Amino acid sequence: MKESIINFLSSRINLTMFQCILYGIVGYVMGQYLDWTRLVLMLVVMYLIQIITRTKAVADGMVMRQVMLEHEDVINDVIQNMHEERDNLKKTQDKMVEEVVKQAKKNNDIN
């Protein structure tokens, strides 16, 4: 279920259709309480907010891409250090488990 939702939301066409459906629902609900001029005004305001949001998201994405390109080597080093630290912690944990098992066998707690 989670995978199908992710796949659905990954497509721009699906997102556009979903957006149109939501605009239709909002327009229908607002149409119940507003006259046509106020309804059109509200839909235009919502559309402008959406254009601003989408433009900002694209700009933020472009900035993040530029930062990633400029600092790719630093990011790779950080990721490499994280992997090494994880491996070291795993080795330490395995050694601790072995010592506990040895002590338990020594004390005849485990057969």
Is 80 exceeded by the pLDDT of residue 109? Answer: no
Distance CA 18, CA 25 (A): 11
Same domain for 24 and 34?
Answer: yes
Same domain for 51 and 98?
Answer: no
Same domain for 80 and 32?
Answer: no
Same domain for 60 and 9?
Answer: yes
Same domain for 65 and 76?
Answer: no
Same domain for 97 and 49?
Answer: no
Is 60 exceeded by the pLDDT of residue 68? Answer: yes
Q: How far apart are the first and last CA of the chain?
A: 45
pTM score > 0.75 for this model? no
Distance CA 19, CA 65 (A): 26
Per the structure, the complete domain to which residue 81 belongs is given by 72-111
Contact 12, 20 (CB under 8 A): no
Chain centre distance of CA 93: 31
Per-residue pLDDT tens for 30-62?
A: 889 889 899 889 889 988 998 898 889 888 888
Same domain for 28 and 15?
Answer: yes
